[in-house]
Amino acid sequence: MLRVLFIAGLIWWGGRFVQLPRSLRLVLLGLLFLAVLTLHLTLPEGHGLREATGGSPAFWLMLGGFGLLATGYGWIISRLKSRAQAQGSPMSQPPALFTDTELNRYARHIVLRELGGPGQKKLKQAKVLVVGAGGLGAPVLQYLAAAGVGTIGVIDDDAVENANLQRQVIHRDQDIGMPKVFSAEAAMRAQNPYVEVRPYQRRLTQEMAQELFADYDLILDGTDNFDTRYLVNETAVALGKPLISGALSQWEGQLSLFHPKSGGPCYQCIFPEAPAAGLAPSCSEAGVIGPLPGVVGTMMAVEAVKQITGAGTTLQGEMLIYDALYGESRKIRLSSRKDCPICGAG
């Protein structure tokens, strides 16, 4: 019996060594099996050949049964694979969403229980529009690009000035005079070549706001004037897009997430009218401590990551206020207004 098994092993592995086709080796093994089984069924008991090959056909019949089971199982698996591929199963899909370099880059995200691989995939598939590439826009854009947000739009009509560089750290001295959106684009591509950056060098207007916003999942507003903030809010509400808004003044910053479609207030619920002239001076008039936009803008980026991935609890219905001068932060509750002209019943 050992000799028969030796011959079978020689046929299989020896044939493989000399590169015999798998089908031919299976045929040879089948012939060997039939030859041994024929000996046991035709020769009388006690015959030398029968004794040399086990004495009884029972072992060979069981071996043949196992062989048939294995062959049938392989055939079934092969058919299932073929059917799955024909129906466009994941086995027929393109290669993995992330390259090895990207997996290594986002490893600290992927090991977070609240994000993991699914969260990073959502980030890569997300489209985020940032309005303003100034003090708040600079850290927002940098951290969204670093985090792996797949498509990032940025709209701004200003050019980089020397006075910007004290706080707008996405721009460099050599970028003075360059449109901010192109300076930011260059920095973001240098930071992460795996994201798509869409720069829009223009002022946001009523005529083009809806068409622009429609192509994005999430809007972040880092502008410094109430007219643009009201336009951003009105457009986001009309299209049902979540809006993360931030603001700065001297040593203090604030941010919130507005999304009436999911039950929260909108920006105009909280600020129904623009303040009178002089009551809310711009950064150029009142001044602003350089790192403050970085702190608040980074918080806005964190809110964006949470909104995209579903991690944690966002600032919807709340406003976070940070006082850098005294190192304090507090949150206040925000409520919708039924008479709001943007998201209310009217």
CA atoms of 229 and 204, how far apart (whole Å): 10
| Residue whose C-alpha is closest to residue 209's, from 133, 307, 131 | 131
| Confidence at residue 25, expressed as pLDDT on a 0 to 100 scale | 66
What's the whole-model pTM score? 0.71
How far apart CA 217 and CA 240 sit, in angstroms, is: 9
159: Cα within 13 Å, side-chain hemisphere: 6
Structure tokens at 165: 């560089």
pLDDT computed for residue 46 by the predictor: 65
Per the listing, tokens 């990073």 go with 120
Q: Which residues contact 247 (CB under 8 A, 6 or more apart)?
A: 224, 253, 254, 255
Pick from 239, 254, 231: which is nearest to 300 by CA? 254
3-state secondary structure (DSSP) of residue 73: helix
196-214 pLDDT tens trace:
999 999 999 999 999 999 9
Q: Note the pLDDT of residue 286.
A: 76
Q: Reading across the β-sheet that carries 328-333, which strands appear in turn?
A: 196-200, 151-155, 127-131, 218-221, 243-249, 252-258, 318-323, 328-333
Residue 338 CA to residue 346 CA, distance in Å, equals 8
In the numeric block, which tokens belong to residue 338?
């039924």
CA distance 282 to 287: 8
- The whole-number average pLDDT for the span 187-199 is 96
Kindly indicate the confidence band of residue 96, based on its pLDDT and cuts at 50, 70 and 90: low
Going along the chain from its start, the domains and CATH numbers come out as: 2-92 (no CATH), 126-333 (3.40.50.720)
| Structure tokens given for 107 | 């490893």
What is d(CA 6, CA 319) in angstroms, rounded to the nearest whole number?
79
Output the pLDDT for position 53. 64
Contact 167, 293 (CB under 8 A): yes
Overall average pLDDT of the 77-89 stretch = 50
Q: How confident is the model at residue 89 (pLDDT cuts 50, 70, 90)?
A: very low
Position 92 scores a pLDDT of 32
Residue with tokens 């029972």: 58
Per cent of the chain over pLDDT 90 is: 63
- Over the chain, what is the mean pLDDT? 85
pLDDT at 146 over 70: yes
